[in-house]
Each structure stands twice: as C-alpha cells, then as structure tokens.
Amino acid sequence: MSGYITEEIPAEELTRQIEQARELGDSVRRLVTATVVTDVGEEELAEARAHIDAAAEILERSRIDSSFGLRFNSDGRLRNWGNAVEGIRNPLAPPVEFHAEADHVWAEFDLGPQYEGPPGLVHGGVIGLILDQVLGNAAVNAGSPGMTGTLTIRYRQGTALGPIRVEGRLDRTEGHKSFASGTISTADGLCAEAEGIFIMPRWARGLDASRQLGVGDA
Ligand SMILES: CCCCCCCC(=O)SCCNC(=O)CCNC(=O)[C@H](O)C(C)(C)COP(=O)(O)OP(=O)(O)OC[C@H]1O[C@@H](n2cnc3c(N)ncnc32)[C@H](O)[C@@H]1OP(=O)(O)O
C-alpha cells in the first residue's frame, strides 16, 4: 500500500520541521477562522485576497506529487501531517492532540465557526469525523488498530461550537475486528456517542506491528 514512507531525518532537524509545520498550520487555521467571520469591506477583502494568493504561490513553488501519507522516521516518530483530524499542517484539522491512558484515549479542544452545521452547532459530519478518529485511536492505543468498517453514531443533542471533550475506548476484539466506543461532550453534557468496528485489512495482516496503519505518535 503506497503512502507509508520511511525517512531518516536527524532528530533535531525533525523537531525543527515539526515546529515549523505546526506554526504554518496554525497561521492558516487562523486565516480560515478569520475568513468565515470577517466583516471587513470590499477594499480590505481584495487586499487580503492578494496576500493569500501570493502566499499560496510561494507554497506551490515546491510540492510533493501526492498526499502527505504516513511518514515514519528512523528515530521512531511518525508524521501524519495531512490527517483531517490530527494533522498539524492540515488547516482543516483542529488539530486534535490525543492523550493515551491505560484503557482509553481522550482530547479536549475547540471547534470554531468553520465547523458549523446548524447555527451555532457543530456539523454532524464533523462529529462523525472526530468520533471516527477517536475510536480508531482507541483501537491503536489498545494495540488492535484497524480501518473503519462500520461507525454508528447516536446524536443526543446539538454540540455547541467551542470547547469539547472526546473519549474513546476499545471494548473487545474478535479475530481481526476491534470493537470500540466513544463520546463527545460539552459543558451541556453528553452530545453524541458512537460504536465502531475497526478491521485489520488483509493486506496489512503480515506487516510489522509498528507499521500497521500508523501506530505511533508525533
Ligand atoms: C491510525 C488509526 C486511526 C484511524 C482513524 C480513521 C480511520 C479511517 O478513517 S479508515 C478510512 C475509512 N475506512 C475505509 O476506507 C475502509 C474501507 N474498507 C476496507 O478497507 C475493507 O473492506 C475492510 C478493512 C473494512 C475489511 O477488510 P477485508 O480485508 O475485506 O476484511 P475481511 O477479511 O473480508 O473481513 C474480516 C472480518 O471483518 C468483517 N467485516 C468486513 N467488512 C466489514 C464492515 N464494513 N463492517 C463490519 N464488519 C466487516 C468480515 O465479516 C470478517 O468477519 P469475520 O472475521 O468474523 O468473518
């Protein structure tokens, strides 16, 4: 399967690259939020657009000819900068930083106006996006990673934009299948809960465990 790349970047250099990636992602995330809620006039909009197009042209001077993929470094760190939930250089990602406990994973972060569905509330698809990742990471954390086969979500109440907490845990495994569950909550209480079946695909079953579907961090 392509997109799984092994690299040898010296540790200090990789740390520097990670910082730069986060800074670039944060700057564009700020821009995305500002774009959704700006109320400036026509002249300022034109001025901003010229700057944005100029910045895009600089970034396009050199680019990889694929998506970012999963990049494993020789020091054990893994980069998933394009990931739609966790990718530090992906401005579509909040990005979510998960914490791994013995029996579950969790994260707390803000969802801004770019994630809106119904007015003031998080889009249902974004809820699914985040729950897919938290359940998948729970399976990874428990040592039983897999691709999402089935994801079932029950939306209990609207999720207000702003601070949210997500949690996920592995409930059980059956052969190549991992059964995970998780929740999204806010200050208003439980907003959505999910159950998922994560399956180790046939093509990945013979691979070294550390390379199966991106077990790792960074
Ligand atoms: C880094 C980790 C975090 C990841 C978080 C994000 C996760 C994702 O977004 S993954 C992307 C979205 N998912 C996908 O694209 C998956 C697409 N589907 C596939 O790749 C395959 O169909 C896949 C992996 C689900 C099944 O793989 P395949 O090699 O066909 O499995 P196969 O050997 O036929 O079946 C294995 C078992 O799973 C069951 N199964 C197969 N498909 C499904 C399914 N969709 N739902 C439930 N069970 C299923 C089979 O019945 C079989 O069960 P049993 O062992 O009891 O007989």
Q: For residues 83 and 129, what is the distance between their CA atoms, to the nearest angstrom? A: 11
> Which atom of ligand 1 is least distant from the CA of 213?
1
- Of 27, 60, 95, which one is at a domain's C-terminal end? 95
Domain coverage including residue 132: 97-211
CATH number at residue 149: 3.10.129.10
Q: Are residues 84 and 103 in the same domain?
A: no
Does the beta carbon of 148 sit less than 6 angstroms from any atom of ligand 1? yes
Q: Cα separation of 72 and 140, whole Å? A: 16
Start-to-end Cα distance in the chain: 22
Question: Which residue among 55, 78, 95 closes a domain?
Answer: 95
| Nearest to 134, CA basis, from 218, 202, 193, 69 | 193
Residue nearest to atom 25 of ligand 1 (CA): 149
pTM: 0.94
CA distance 188 to 123: 17
Indicate if 125 and 63 belong to the same structural domain. no
Please indicate, yes or no, if residue 217 is contained in any of the structural domains. no
Over residues 62-80, mean pLDDT = 94
Q: Based on the structure, what is the number of domains in the chain?
A: 2
Could you give the ipTM of this predicted complex? 0.94
205 lines ligand 1 (CB under 6 A): no
Q: For residue 9, what pLDDT is reported?
A: 95
CB of 142 within 6 A of ligand 1: the answer is no
Domain boundary among 63, 95, 127: 95
pLDDT given for residue 22 in this prediction: 98
Taking the C-alpha atoms of residue 208 and residue 80, their distance in angstroms, rounded to an integer, is 18
Q: In the prediction, which pLDDT does 130 show? A: 98
Instruction: Give residue-wise pLDDT tens across range 5-40.
Output: 999 999 999 999 999 999 999 999 999 999 999 999
pLDDT of residue 3: 84
